[in-house]
Amino acid sequence: MKASVYFGPKDIRAIDVPDAKIKNDHEMLVEVSATSICGSDLHLYRGALDGIMEKGRSQTGHELIGIVRETGKGVGNFRPGDRVTMAYSCSCGECYTCQVGQTAHCETTGKAVYGFGVAFGDLNGTHAEALVLPHADAHALKVPDTIADNAALTLSCNLPSAVIANRLAAIEPGENVALIGLGPTGLMSLDIALQRAPGKVLALDPVVHRRKAAAEKGVTVLDPGSEGWKETALEMVEGRGFDKVIEVVGTPESLQMSLDLIRPGGTIAAIGVFTDTEFNLVPMDVFLRDITLHMNGFANVQPFMWDALRLMERGVIDPSQYFTHEFSLADIDKSYAAFFGKEDGINKVLIRP
């Protein structure tokens, strides 16, 4: 079968690999209908996680919509023919951390993540014609036929993460909100935030077409690379800072922006995937300003997948609007390059085997 394999920084290709096969009773085999590329996959693409990938063997991808083709004897919730997705992290549903809702920190699987190399469980990926889901009952989810493939893909990571961001930020009616990062997860976070009757809302991103998408929702947008952006932003809120900040980037610069924009006593929900090992956080500043800082980039999405599905089924959120380009699995290299380069108005890609 064909699958996407990591060969090095900016070198990810679709090649022939051994067919995916069930080996344990708790596993199920899923034929991939469609998949996508997450912003966190770009850390792999640019080489930031080169050390955890086995070149020429480690597969990529963690967003899925597919059809169950075979189930192990221990799988009770699914049967062949079911249309399913799964959480990006593989969790058993039974260990202590799973029971307390920290499914991304599963003690049984060792924090395993699909398509994220040796250090994260050495699992197969969704950028393939088929894959095996271990502990399938615990972290897979049936998806109704009424949900389009592209929208369903966001259940693996993007939309539950946006739900988590808003829960952590706990926006109250009338509060002023700043959102940093307008990729797909950022835009979905913005969609949910706007349902909470906020006061003034500012969205920041350096990419023009992303700012345009946010501006069409009626919020103020700024380019954080423009001169005087911070002063302009703070003028919106009388210089005192925003009540809540949601960060969806994952860089030292975006975290510092969050700290620069938050008011005393405010809350920052930072759900970007951080790969840097150092950041000059000043504890005295956080202490004296009574800032609440949540960091949840390694998100526990499984407990929130049903909530995300409900948002789509009831017409509150439509993630399909953020898919702008479609590629075949054979062109996975081109899809990564396009998504990484943010070219041609690209936002989120749909990949068909």
Residue 125 contacts residue 62 (beta carbons within 8 Å): yes
Domain identity same for 100 and 147: yes
pLDDT-wise least confident of 17-26, 169-178, 292-301: 292-301
Indicate the SS3 state at residue 305: helix
Distance CA 153, CA 86 (A): 9
Mean pLDDT of the chain: 96
Q: What size, in residues, is the chain? A: 353
Distance CA 308, CA 317 (A): 9
Query: Which pLDDT score, from 0 to 100, does residue 276 have?
Result: 85
Buried b vs exposed e over 20-44: b needs ≥16 C-beta within 10 Å?
A: bebeeebbbbbbbbbbbbbbbbbbb
**Residue 49: exposure state from Cβ atoms within 10 A (0-12, 13-18, ≥19):** buried
Q: How many domains does the chain have?
A: 2
Domain identity same for 54 and 105: yes
Domain identity same for 130 and 222: no
Q: Choose one of 295, 311, 333: the last residue of a domain.
A: 295
pLDDT (tens digit per residue) in 282-310: 899 999 999 999 999 899 999 999 999 99
How does residue 275 score in pLDDT terms, banded at 50, 70 and 90?
confident
Residue 97 contacts residue 106 (beta carbons within 8 Å): yes
Domain identity same for 183 and 291: yes
Domain identity same for 140 and 189: no
Structural domain for 90, as ranges: 2-157+300-352
Distance CA 60, CA 45 (A): 10
Query: How far is CA 11 from each of CA 3, 60, 65, 306, rounded to the nearest angstrom?
Result: 14, 12, 25, 35
pLDDT (tens digit per residue) in 39-81: 999 999 999 999 999 999 999 999 999 999 999 999 999 999 9
Q: Judge whether residue 34 has pLDDT over 90.
A: yes
Query: Which pLDDT score, from 0 to 100, does residue 343 have?
Result: 82
Domain identity same for 288 and 335: no
Domain identity same for 290 and 324: no
pLDDT (tens digit per residue) in 78-120: 999 999 999 999 999 999 999 999 999 999 999 999 999 999 9
Domain identity same for 288 and 304: no
Domain identity same for 174 and 265: yes
Distance CA 213, CA 232 (A): 20
pLDDT (tens digit per residue) in 187-197: 999 999 999 99
Domain identity same for 18 and 151: yes
CATH code at position 250:
3.40.50.720
Average pLDDT estimate for 310-328: 97
CATH code at position 53:
3.90.180.10
How does residue 173 score in pLDDT terms, banded at 50, 70 and 90?
very high
Domain identity same for 257 and 329: no
Domain identity same for 20 and 144: yes
Q: Choose one of 270, 295, 320: the last residue of a domain.
A: 295
Distance CA 84, CA 324 (A): 23
Q: Choose one of 248, 270, 295: the last residue of a domain.
A: 295
Q: Please indicate, yes or no, whether the overall pTM of this predicted structure exceeds 0.85.
A: yes
Query: Which pLDDT score, from 0 to 100, does residue 26 have?
Result: 98
Q: Judge whether residue 323 has pLDDT over 90.
A: yes
Q: Six-digit token pair at 245?
A: 């900040």
